[in-house]
């Protein structure tokens, strides 16, 4: 019995070191690299950590508007977005729609690998809970902006700003920040410096969500080209741990379709934290 307790103690200590210690340290320390950088096919990668004070507020607003408009409201998981993604993906002929929050993407990019599966998604959930519990929201956002991939081998908003716009991240304009955020779903296929029709449309949509775009831009997020979703994105469309629960819930109570917004109609009120300037406490 004593031997069993000793083994349990050392096993618990090992889990603490493997999972909790890195998260605690990165609450204050810059990330020297990330799992995605180490696995990148492009070598060497371009990466330069910058403090929150060296990132333009437009970049923070753009990624929140683009990737996770409820970032300041949820605790790491957006259940409503998961339900919508599941309903969307069950319709034949519809593209795979993701539902990962900025917190989940940060956990995956920093500690894990791309692809789906119960094991990887389970680890992602653990890291997401730890990050949300141990880091303030502003730290999560700063980490995400520093490690997200914006182009082949280009990681972080500083490296991306220098590569695409020849300026530091602190001087990004709203249109430039929107273009960087627009390519985040598929940074190896889309180019912020030479945006195609879809990236241009998505940039304009992001600008409107930020409160900086014209009202003539549709309020609905534009659909990407059919061939723009790769296998990794398809595998991560929804957390398999929640798939059965969502399926049962949707069968019992079908989700109503959101009414289509008329072109030129006033934009809905933006989430306060998503549209208002974000400052580092």
Q: What is the pLDDT of residues 82-126, one digit of tens each?
A: 777 666 666 655 555 567 899 999 999 999 988 778 888 899 999
Query: Would you state the pLDDT for residue 109?
Result: 96
Query: Would you state the pLDDT for residue 136?
Result: 97
Structural domain includes residue 7: no
Structural domain includes residue 72: yes
- pLDDT tens-place string over residues 59-74: 999 999 999 999 999 9
Where b means 16+ CB within 10 Å and e means fewer, 243-254 reads eeebeeeeeeee
Domain range for 72 is 16-228+239-256+265-275
CATH number at residue 48: 1.10.3810.10
Query: Would you state the pLDDT for residue 269?
Result: 36
φ and ψ of 167, to 5 deg? -150, 160
Structural domain includes residue 4: no
Query: Would you state the pLDDT for residue 93?
Result: 53
Structural domain includes residue 159: yes
Note whether 102 and 110 are within 8 A (CB).
no
Average confidence (pLDDT) over 207-231? 72
Looking at the 3D structure of the chain, how many domains does it have?
1
Structural domain includes residue 55: yes
Strands 46-47 and 154-155: parallel
Structural domain includes residue 171: yes
- pLDDT tens-place string over residues 182-206: 999 999 999 999 999 999 999 999 9
Q: What percent of the chain has pLDDT over 90?
A: 54
Cα Rg of the chain, angstroms: 19
φ and ψ of 151, to 5 deg? -175, 170
Structural domain includes residue 214: yes
Structural domain includes residue 24: yes
């Amino acid at each position: 019995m004593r031997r069993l307790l000793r083994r349990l103690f050392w096993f618990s200590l090992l889990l603490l070191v493997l999972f909790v210690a890195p998260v605690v340290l990165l609450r204050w320390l810059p990330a020297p690299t990330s799992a995605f950088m180490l696995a990148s096919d492009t070598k060497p990668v371009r990466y330069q950590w910058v403090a929150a004070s060296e990132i333009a507020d437009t970049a923070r607003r753009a990624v929140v508007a683009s990737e996770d408009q409820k970032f300041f409201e949820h605790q790491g998981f957006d259940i409503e977005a998961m339900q919508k993604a599941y309903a969307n993906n069950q319709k034949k002929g519809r593209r795979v729609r993701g539902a990962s929050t900025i917190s989940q993407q940060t956990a995956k990019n920093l500690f894990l690998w791309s692809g789906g599966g119960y094991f990887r998604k389970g680890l992602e959930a653990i890291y997401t809970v730890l990050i949300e519990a141990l880091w303030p929201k502003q730290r999560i956002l700063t980490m995400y902006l520093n490690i997200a991939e914006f182009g082949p081998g280009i990681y972080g908003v500083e490296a991306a700003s220098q590569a695409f716009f020849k300026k530091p991240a602190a001087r990004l304009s709203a249109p430039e920040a929107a273009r960087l955020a627009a390519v985040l779903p598929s940074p190896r296929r889309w180019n912020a410096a030479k945006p195609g029709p879809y990236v241009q449309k998505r940039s304009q949509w992001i600008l409107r969500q930020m409160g900086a775009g014209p009202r003539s831009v549709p309020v609905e997020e534009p659909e990407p080209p059919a061939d723009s979703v790769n296998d990794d994105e398809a595998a991560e469309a929804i957390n398999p741990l929640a798939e059965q629960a969502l399926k049962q819930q949707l069968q019992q109570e079908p989700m109503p379709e959101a009414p289509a917004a008329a072109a030129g109609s006033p934009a809905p009120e933006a989430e306060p934290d998503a549209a208002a300037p974000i400052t580092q406490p």
